[in-house]
């Protein structure tokens, strides 16, 4: 069976933050949300074509999509009773949704990742205490050291040869993860707190216009600059290598750049069309997902960090960019 380590199921872009260079492009996009029936059909088709090890719901802020996200998670759990299900939140609304999050985790065995994008310039006490409140309500214990969740969920030794080559190439040392991480875990579900201080640049701005980097080394771009190296992206019955490619057409439409010559190479990227794909196309995606392809040259070959501050994260400052 063709394997995907993590498949991000896209539900929409609405967010209470506007993080510059968000890989789902939720800093600029609104109004491109897929319908729930389309999302369910996409999940069904993906589950037929691939062995998805970890399912993830991804988009803007899920606590602004509670009803929709709940239905998606219920559907995934109905067809995959034992796989890990991720849900990521920025945590800004967590204190108002303690009961909802706790019930979601308990009822559907969900792994909730709380990624704090404001830790460098704002108080983190409310988010950290809300994470602890969820864990206390569930009676889930803290695990030490906190980075062990990564090993337990990612399972480096399972997956395709391409995945194992990727792990060897990265040479990960999970003991070097952020010391601020806090994990409450029971089997493959629970809640985890982490901090994110910077973004990968996924496009550059030239004379006020978004442009691709057009790297001359796609493999280096993938290794050094991809914000979602091990996550495929499911959107409207298609699986893309990453969220940045999956949301590119909407992004260019928003900026009136669909005819821009510099972007044509990336618009021609072909995802796996789950309605029409051949077995060979499915296998090719599985065998090449964890290495650079031509479209990876959209991103820079050397990591370019965008440090998170009020201007880069908060919607209030969006007009200043």
Cα 52 to Cα 115: distance, rounded to the nearest angstrom? 23
Would you say residue 304 has pLDDT above 50? yes
User: Which is nearest to 202 in space by CA: 234, 246, 253?
Assistant: 246
Give strand ranges (E) for 174-311: 182-186, 189-195, 198-200, 204-206, 209-211, 231-235, 238-240, 272-273, 305-307
Cα 212 to Cα 189: distance, rounded to the nearest angstrom? 38
Cα 130 to Cα 118: distance, rounded to the nearest angstrom? 15
Query: How large a percentage of the chain has pLDDT more than 70?
Result: 96
pLDDT at 319: 47
Confidence of residue 166 (pLDDT cuts 50, 70, 90): confident
Give me the count of residues in the chain: 321
Confidence of residue 209 (pLDDT cuts 50, 70, 90): very high
- From the number of C-beta atoms within 10 Å of its C-beta (0-12, 13-18, 19+), residue 234 rates as buried
Bridge partners of 52, per DSSP, are 4
Write the pLDDT tens digit of every residue in 109-158: 999 999 999 998 988 999 999 999 999 999 999 988 777 777 778 787 78
pLDDT at 206: 95
Confidence of residue 11 (pLDDT cuts 50, 70, 90): very high
Write the pLDDT tens digit of every residue in 55-101: 999 999 999 999 999 999 999 999 999 999 999 999 999 999 999 99
pLDDT at 269: 97
pTM (predicted TM-score): 0.94
């Amino acid at each position: 069976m063709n394997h995907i380590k993590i498949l991000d199921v896209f539900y929409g872009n609405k967010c209470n933050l506007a993080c510059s260079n968000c890989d789902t492009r939720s800093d600029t996009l609104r109004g491109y949300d897929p319908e729930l029936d389309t999302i369910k059909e996409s999940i069904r088709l993906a589950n037929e074509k691939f062995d998805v090890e970890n399912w993830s719901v991804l988009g803007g802020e899920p606590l602004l999509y509670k009803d929709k996200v709940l239905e998606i998670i219920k559907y995934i759990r109905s067809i995959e009773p034992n796989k890990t299900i991720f849900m990521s939140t920025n945590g800004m609304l967590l204190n108002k949704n303690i009961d909802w999050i706790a019930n979601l985790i308990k009822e559907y065995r969900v792994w909730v990742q709380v990624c704090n994008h404001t830790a460098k310039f704002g108080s983190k006490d409310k988010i950290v205490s809300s994470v602890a409140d969820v864990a206390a309500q569930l009676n889930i214990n803290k695990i030490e050291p906190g980075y062990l969740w990564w090993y337990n969920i990612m399972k480096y030794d399972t997956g395709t040869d391409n995945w194992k080559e990727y792990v060897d190439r990265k040479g990960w040392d999970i003991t070097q993860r952020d010391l601020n991480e806090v994990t409450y875990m029971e089997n493959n579900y629970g809640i985890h707190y982490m901090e994110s201080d910077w973004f990968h640049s996924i496009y550059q701005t030239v004379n006020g216009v978004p442009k691709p980097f057009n790297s001359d080394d796609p493999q280096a771009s993938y290794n050094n600059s991809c914000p979602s190296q091990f996550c495929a992206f499911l959107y409207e019955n298609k699986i893309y290598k990453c969220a940045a490619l999956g949301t590119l057409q909407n992004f260019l439409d928003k900026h009136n750049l669909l005819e821009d010559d510099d972007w044509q190479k990336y618009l021609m990227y072909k995802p796996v069309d789950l309605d029409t794909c051949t077995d060979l196309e499915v296998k090719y995606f599985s065998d090449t997902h964890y290495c650079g392809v031509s479209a990876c040259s959209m991103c820079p070959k050397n990591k370019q960090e965008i440090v998170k501050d009020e201007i880069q994260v908060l919607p209030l400052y969006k007009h200043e960019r």
